[in-house]
């Protein structure tokens, strides 16, 4: 039976260069032409070993370039939901963590998940609304670890309310929860990062609402927008200290925080909406047609925390499936992308008029 071309080529190559000893297989991997031929020759044991080593080497190379193993991260709001996803994903990449959250049960669940991955997890039950809690959290981080490399300010949140009827206490809470504590967190973290000369990465969470007119969330949106200029200014100010600062900007990632942000009557109105209708609604708003998951956000955090982004500072990454890029253009049923419904879209939206 005639041999496949790749197999004949592989055997000819082996005659020319000699069959490699096990220690010489890495030489073949360094030579793309031989490795490619070998990987196609599935019948050959050496080829299978080369293919396996190529795949393992690729993963190992990525891990080495990311340079996360053995680093320490502080996560404020890292106990549940999106924060927990970030904590666990960092742990999967070899990072030890110290986590602040006001939800004690979520903290314990996340701690167990991190320890199951073989990484260390120190927890602190506290609220970012409290200046003392944030100070005590960093004091604990400095006591438990001799280094700090990564800070993730993920805590935040809001309740939908009318601007004119909101109280001063509610406004102050929105500002502290979404901006004020971030200032304190960064200012307290930098001296801990500078206990070594390796530099660090600070990652803040903002929202797409910081970049559009979010009626019903005015003070929250303003507080998140303030983070944007803080990020730009500190990226310049901290650059000489080898400390980077970036932001992750989600949109409507499913989370408890998003579910409880809306007025109760709006949340309840989703109860009788079928999954099929919800999917169609998502397709109207999100160009990719699917909501970004908590894991998608966590992946962005891992990237920004790693040396893969070592020359990236002062930017935000919109992890939203394209809604920020769309800038208000929606994929209207019957009409396609347009800022407002036209023609067939209007007929579908208002069939009785």
Q: Is residue 211 among the annotated active site residues?
A: no
CA angle 233, 209, 337 (to 5 degrees): 120
Give the contacts of 189 (CB within 8 A, at least 6 positions apart).
Answer: 74, 138, 148, 151, 200, 202
Query: 235 - beta bridge partners?
Result: none
Residues with Cβ within 8 Å of 45's Cβ and at least 6 positions away in sequence, in order, are none
Contact present, 64 and 142 (Cβ < 8 Å): no
Q: Which of 138, 181, 211, 220 is catalytic?
A: 220
Please report, for the chain, how many H helices and E strands are present, in that order. 16, 9
Q: Which 8-state DSSP code applies to residue 320? A: S
Angstrom distances, CA of residue 307 to CA of 61, 73, 226, 237: 12, 14, 27, 20
Rounded-to-10 torsion of CA 353, 334, 318, 254: 70
Cα–Cα distance, 317 to 212 (Å, whole number): 16
- Which of 236, 67, 226, 232 has the alpha carbon at shortest distance from 150? 67
Which residues are annotated as catalytic?
220
């Amino acid at each position: 039976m005639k041999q496949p071309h790749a197999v004949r080529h592989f055997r000819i190559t082996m005659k020319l260069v000699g069959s490699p000893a096990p220690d010489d297989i890495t030489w073949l991997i360094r030579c793309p032409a031989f490795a490619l031929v070998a990987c196609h020759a599935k019948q050959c044991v050496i080829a299978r070993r080369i293919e396996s080593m190529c795949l393992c080497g690729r993963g190992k190379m990525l891990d080495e370039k990311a340079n996360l193993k053995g680093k320490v991260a502080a996560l404020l709001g890292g106990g549940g939901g999106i924060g927990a996803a970030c904590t666990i994903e960092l742990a999967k990449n070899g990072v030890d963590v110290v986590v602040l959250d006001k939800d004690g049960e979520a903290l314990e669940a996340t701690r167990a998940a991190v320890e199951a991955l073989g990484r260390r997890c120190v927890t602190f039950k506290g609220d970012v609304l409290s200046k003392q809690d944030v100070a005590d959290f960093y004091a604990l981080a400095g006591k438990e670890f001799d280094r700090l490399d990564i800070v993730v300010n993920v805590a935040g949140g809001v309740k939908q309310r009318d601007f004119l009827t909101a109280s001063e206490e509610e406004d102050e809470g929105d500002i502290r929860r979404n901006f004020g504590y971030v200032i304190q967190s960064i200012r307290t973290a930098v001296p801990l990062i500078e206990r070594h000369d390796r530099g660090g990465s600070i990652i803040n969470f903002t929202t797409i609402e910081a970049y559009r007119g979010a009626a019903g969330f005015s003070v929250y949106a303003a507080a998140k927008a303030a983070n944007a200029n803080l990020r730009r200014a500190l990226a310049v100010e901290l650059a000489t200290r080898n400390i980077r600062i970036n932001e992750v900007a989600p949109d409507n990632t499913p989370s408890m925080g998003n579910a409880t942000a809306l007025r109760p009557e709006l949340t309840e109105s989703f109860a009788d909406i079928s999954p099929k209708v919800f999917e169609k609604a998502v397709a109207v708003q999100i160009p990719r047609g699917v909501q970004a998951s908590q894991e998608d956000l966590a992946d962005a955090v891992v990237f920004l925390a790693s040396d893969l982004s070592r020359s990236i500072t002062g930017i935000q990454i919109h992890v939203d499936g394209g809604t920020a890029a769309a800038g208000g253009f929606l994929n209207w049923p019957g009409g396609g992308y347009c800022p407002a419904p036209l023609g067939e879209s209007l007929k579908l939206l208002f069939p009785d008029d």
